A and B are shown apart, each in its own frame.
Chain A
Amino acid sequence: MRELATESSVLTVDTAPPAPVLAPPPADTPATARPRPGSPPRRVLRWALIAVVAIVMLTPLYLLVLNAFKDQQDILASPFGFSGGLTVDHLVQAWSNPRFNIAKGYAITILFVVLVNVFSVFLAGPVAYVIARSTRRRFRVLMLFFLAGTFIPSQVLVIPVVYVLKTLGLMGTIPGYVMFETTLTLPFSIFLYAGYIRTVPTDIDQAAAIDGCGRYRTFWQIVFPLMRPVVATMVILNTFSVWNDFVNPQTILGPSSGLYTVTTGIYAAVGQYQTDYTVVFPTLLLAIAPLLVFFVIMQRHIISGLTAGSTKG
């Protein structure tokens, strides 16, 4: 999701402000004035389609939950149903796996998510403000400079990054990892923030300046509070990308730091045992259950927040 920044927008940088990519969704009234589902056959078709897609999307989840409670023989004999009893033995085993302490994995990943989000906002906000409020060419060039970063696949970048972090003495450390992950969030954050700030009237800044506010304070005290939707969007995006990242923590944290995220922990626990379904299903279930529950509870905010912030940018 980090790559949401697009070249289409790159090309509009010179003609600030960019055209709105997505406009605010009206609160209640459905804008796409589709008449209520029409003739009966059409309705049947619609429901059939919904049923099919729901089955395709949810079957893996069903298999995951069901088979996490079964023995290997049972899983192989009747993967979609039951032929023997259910057991929590394998879940207990997965929970107490010495190679992947799920609680520890969660704690570390949440720490990374929080740190990266905080640093990302702290670094990207001010520079986006300067870019948005300046007509100088050098800041437009700076915007392009940052945007170029969206085209660089981080999986490929991680190898040279190892040497940079090593030179800085930060390989296998939390600061090193957080620095790199934060950097990966910068290009798109700056792009989105700058687009949003351009929609904030400059009168507000000028009024603040008259009140004796410096530029720095004007941003944090006056402009930043207005940026809540766009910051929310970025936080959601960055949370997904940090949470789901695999190759970067795998490479930068390595085995000797003793640090693992949920994804690298899953890899350590499952990677070598892919044929033992009594390891695969319970481990995956335990590893994703809290996140899924969180998602289901927060889904309205997450899905609307995801798009709300890009409404003006």
Chain B
Amino acid sequence: MNRRGGLATAAMVLPATVLYTVMLIVPVGLAIYLSLTDWDGYSADPAFVGGENYGEVFADPQFQQAAFVTLLAALAGTVAMNLLGLGFAVLVSRTSRVNSALRMVLFYPHVLSALVVGFLWGAILGTNGAINSFLTSRGAEVLPFLSDPDWATVTLIAVLVWAGFGVNTVLYVAGLQTVPQSLLEAARIDGASKWQTFRHVTLPAIAPVVTVNLVLSLITLLKTYDLVVSLTAGGPAGQTQTLAYLILWNSFHDGRLGFGSAQSVVLMVVTAALALIVTKLRRKADQGAAA
């Protein structure tokens, strides 16, 4: 490579690399550094406290609860979004007017943003919301969608799934359309049932799409924040706080930036670890598809 070529390459690589480093890598380093201090966010003398924050993080009952809710939402939500996504993809994969309208109906919540979705469902499921107003006007008991911790957790996950599985559906539809016609034809001639064809031909063929969807759902759900703000505000009794919500609360409401940063680092590690585990587990299936 001559000097001019080297310069051109540098001009192509450096802007993105520098920006990425300054805006993403440096902040990650900063978060790690801050997690070792007791900084409140503005005072002049943050003290270095070593791993103390991390010890406190794991002993903190609020963190334990938030970690439980976050993991539950991520795992249950991932399973639900992908089962529904794949199921409806099969249902609407044929190109037709009805099907394309249906895809739109399934996908539209993604256009609304999680914040709007939360406010909207809050107005529907709240104690004075549409459903409970309807029930009480018929003399029935109020359903504690958002006022009982178990209900509220399930409600939160259900709304996450409602708002998100349309994206999975669209991706699965695209995946299904790549399955070679000849394979399906062959399976049919061999007398395979529909389920057998799906299980042994379609599913292996779209394995990489499944992996993409699983990891996508998982990463998105692990950082659930906006919906908590607008739907439950972490309540009742702080039982539906997610990790992202708790981190920002600790950092900005309680002024414990160091403590919050330690939680951030934990969340980053958990996210990366879970994504890697899923990929490892799916690796065999993916390779089967490529072969």
How many inter-chain residue pairs (CB < 8 Å) link A and B? Answer: 311
Contact in complex: A64, B120 (CB < 8 Å): yes
Partner-binding segment picked from B49-57, B97-105, B148-156: B97-105
Select A246's contact among B24, B115, B124, B290, beta carbons within 8 Å.
Answer: B115
Whether B27 pairs with A127 at a CB distance below 8 angstroms is: no
Contacting pair A8 B286 (CB below 8 A):
yes
Q: Known: A142-B13, A247-B226. Is A280-B123 also a contact (CB below 8 A)? A: yes
- Is B184 an interface residue when CB atoms closer than 8 A count as contact? yes
Q: Is the CB of B93 within 8 A of A156?
A: no
* A53/B27 in contact, CB under 8 A: no
CA distance A247 to B224 in the complex (A): 11
Asked whether B13 lies within 8 Å of A281 as measured between CB atoms, the reply is: no
**Contacts A22-B174, A266-B119, A280-B123 hold; do A58 and B105 have CB atoms under 8 A apart?**
yes
B107 / chain A contacts, CB cutoff of 8 Å = 299, 303
Decide yes or no whether A243 CB sits under 8 A from chain B: yes
A284 at the interface (CB under 8 A from B): yes
> What 1/0 flags go to A133-144 for Cβ under 8 Å of B?
000000000100
Q: Is the CB of B34 closer than 8 A to any CB of chain A?
A: yes
- With CB as the reference atom, state the residue of chain B lying closest to A291: B111
The answer to the question of A97 belonging to the interface, with a C-beta cut-off of 8 Å to chain B, is no
B contact face: mostly helix, strand, loop, or mixed: helix
Determine if A287 and B244 form an interchain contact, defined as CB atoms under 8 angstroms apart.
Answer: no
A186 in complex: contacting residue of B12, B19, B167, B180, CB < 8 Å: B19
Stretch of A86-94, A99-107, A158-166, A199-207 on the interface side: A158-166
Which residues of B sit under 8 angstroms from A287, Cβ to Cβ? Answer: 116
Contact status of A57 and B12, CB under 8 A, knowing A123-B19, A151-B219:
no
Contact among A7, A152, A186, A307 with B268 in the assembled complex (CB-CB below 8 Å): A152
**Contact assessment for A8 and B19 in the assembled complex, using a CB-CB cutoff below 8 Å:** no
Q: Is A112 an interface residue (CB 8 A)?
A: no
The verdict on A157 contacting chain B, using a C-beta distance below 8 Å, is yes
Question: Considering the chains assembled together, what is the distance between the CA atoms of A64 and B121 in angstroms?
Answer: 10
Determine whether the beta carbon of B115 is less than 8 Å from that of A150: no
Alpha-carbon separation in the docked complex, A79 to B125 (Å): 12
Which B residues are in CB contact (< 8 Å) with A63?
120, 123-124, 130
Q: Are B31 and A157 in contact (CB under 8 A)?
A: yes
The answer to whether A246 touches B257 (Cβ under 8 A) is: no
Assess whether A32 is in contact with B184, with CB atoms less than 8 Å apart: yes
Given contacts A246-B113, A266-B116, A281-B123, whether A157 and B211 have CB atoms under 8 Å apart is no
Q: Which residues of B contact A168 (CB under 8 A)?
A: 22
Interface string of A278-296 (1 = CB under 8 A from B): 0011001001100110011
Interface residue from B98, B177, B188, B225 paired with A155 (Cβ < 8 Å): B225
> Shortest Cβ distance from A269 into chain B, in angstroms?
10
Please report whether the interface of chain A is mostly helix, strand, loop or mixed according to DSSP.
helix
Classify chain A's interface size.
35 or more
In the complex formed, the residue of B with least CB distance to A26 is B177
Q: Contact partner of A79 among B130, B202, B244, B268, CB < 8 A?
A: B130
The answer to whether A76 and B128 touch across the interface, beta carbons within 8 angstroms, is yes
**A164 contact from B26, B119, B134, B171, Cβ within 8 A:** B26
With A8-B212, A126-B13, A295-B108 given, is the CB distance from A161 to B23 under 8 Å? yes
- Is residue A182 within 8 Å, beta carbon to beta carbon, of the partner chain? yes
Those of A22-68 within 8 Å (CB) of chain B: 22-26, 28-34, 46, 49-50, 53-54, 56-61, 63-64, 67
- Across-interface contacts of A11 in B (CB, < 8 A): 279, 283
Interchain CA distance A79-B290 in the complex, whole Å? 52
CB-defined interface of A108-148 with B at 8 Å, one 1/0 digit per residue? 00000000000000011011011000000000001000101
Whether B212 pairs with A160 at a CB distance below 8 angstroms is no
In this assembly, does B85 line the interface, its C-beta being within 8 Å of a C-beta of chain A?
no
Cβ of B188: which chain A residues have Cβ within 8 Å of it?
Answer: 33
B-side contacts of A78, CB under 8 Å: 133-134, 137
B30, CB-defined interface residue at 8 Å: yes
A residues less than 8 Å from B290 (CB atoms): 19
Q: Is A95 an interface residue (CB 8 A)?
A: no
Known: A77-B133, A155-B244. A1 touches B113 (CB 8 A): no
| Contact call B212/A21, Cβ cutoff below 8 A | yes
| Selected A-B contacts with CB under 8 Å, 19 pairs | A4-B216, A7-B215, A7-B276, A21-B212, A50-B98, A56-B162, A58-B105, A63-B124, A64-B120, A124-B16, A153-B222, A159-B260, A216-B11, A246-B226, A263-B116, A263-B226, A288-B116, A295-B111, A311-B174
Binding site for B on A (CB under 8 A): 1, 3-4, 6-11, 19-26, 28-34, 46, 49-50, 53-54, 56-61, 63-64, 67, 75-80, 123-124, 126-127, 129-130, 142, 146, 148-157, 159-161, 163-164, 168, 179-180, 182-184, 186-187, 190, 214-216, 219, 240, 243-244, 246-247, 262-263, 266-267, 270-271, 274-275, 277, 280-281, 284, 287-288, 291-292, 295-296, 299-300, 303, 306-307, 310-311
